[in-house]
Amino acid sequence: MALVSEALKDLGTRVDLSQLPADTLLFMALPDPLERAMPVGPELEEDEPRRYQVLGRRVMERALKGLGLRWTGGAWRFFGGGNAAFAQALGAAVDAVAQRHCQACLVIAVDSLAGPDVLPEFLEARRLKKGDRPTGFIPGEGAVALLLTSRGQVSAPGGPEPRIVIRAVELGEDSRFRGAELPPDGRVLSGCVASALRAAGVEGQRLALIGDLNGEEYRAREWGMLLVQLRTLRLGEAVTSWFPADGFGETGAASGALGLCAAVRGLQRRYSPSPTPLVVSISDGGERAAILVSAES
């Protein structure tokens, strides 16, 4: 709740959250409470979608109340699926705006892997980076809140920064994932990247990939396979890679949103190595995703 409150507060410095269109929809990505050692009732243990809804509503209602805000928009939808959960939420929001179901969408992602209740499980599974274990992740936490609109629907804040356009959101499902019989070979992930490039019509440009590598060996192996697949497909020039986990640690369901923030700031401040950076997400399960953005011309 504290993370979401701070993200909303930050968004509120750019957009008046009390004046959003009445049909604004909420799309939220968050972790599975069971995977974060949160107590749930027995009725929720076998109902995964309901777990996301209960947690999401509790977090949003208390965060809004703490900020003195009242939700006057439309329906709320919640998404889980590990690191690719944000891409799933963003894709649904893009579709809602494109199909004119609403004028605007509030898209939020939040996760914390740094709580005292969940750290012992990661330690026992030998997933944390330590002095005697060079491979593993450093626990992190974060939240992102963004306002998605169609062009011209909601006035952007003044200033020299260009607005950012979501050009493509591509989702995939890989039968090779963490703990599966066969390791990932990068084909599904490279398919997401290729589909995003083709949908935006930007094949052949320099590739800037913002990924969720976190120090774990299996994730690095899939990233290497992705680069091999992309080279084989000849979809772009030399690849530049950014990894937000270098600064934030592993942020789970918020990782794709933090990657998007890195892409946005790179474009707005004109240090992005590509005019069309790609945010790539690899979930511990089979979910894979690629998000392509550019600055509004």
Name the pLDDT band for 237 (thresholds 50, 70, 90).
low
- Could you tell me which of 172, 171, 169 has the C-alpha nearest to residue 197? 169
Is the pLDDT at 217 greater than 80, yes or no?
yes
Between residues 112 and 204, the one the model is more confident about: 112
At 236 the pLDDT is 65
pLDDT bin (cut points 50, 70, 90) of residue 151 is: confident
Question: pLDDT band at 160, cuts 50/70/90?
Answer: low
274 in Cβ contact with 267 (< 8 Å): no
pLDDT confidence of residue 85: 97
**Residues 146-163: what's their mean pLDDT?**
72
Q: How far is CA 214 from the centre of its chain?
A: 14
3-class secondary-structure state, position 143? strand
Answer whether residue 154 shows pLDDT above 60.
no
* pLDDT at residue 157, as a whole number: 52
pTM (predicted TM-score): 0.94
What percent of the chain has a predicted confidence (pLDDT) above 70? 96
Question: pLDDT digit string (tens) for 62-94?
Answer: 999 999 999 999 999 999 989 999 999 999 999
Confidence class for position 45, pLDDT limits 50, 70, 90 = confident
Residue 132 — pLDDT band, cuts 50, 70, 90?
confident
Bridge partners, 26 (sequence order): 76, 106
Residues 226 and 221: their CA atoms lie apart, in Å, by 9
Q: How far apart are CA 239 and CA 127, in angstroms?
A: 28
Task: Tell me: pLDDT of 39 over 90.
Answer: no
The mean of the pLDDT values for the chain is: 92
Kindly report each contact of residues 222-228 with a partner whose C-beta sits within 8 Å and lies 24 or more positions away, as own/partner.
Answer: 222/183, 222/184, 222/185, 222/186, 222/189, 222/282, 223/186, 223/282, 224/186, 225/184, 225/185, 225/186, 225/187, 225/189, 225/190, 226/186, 226/189, 226/190, 226/193, 226/280, 227/186, 228/186
For residue 99 the two structure tokens come to 């199909």
pLDDT of residue 171: 97
Taking residues 235-257, what's their average pLDDT?
A: 91
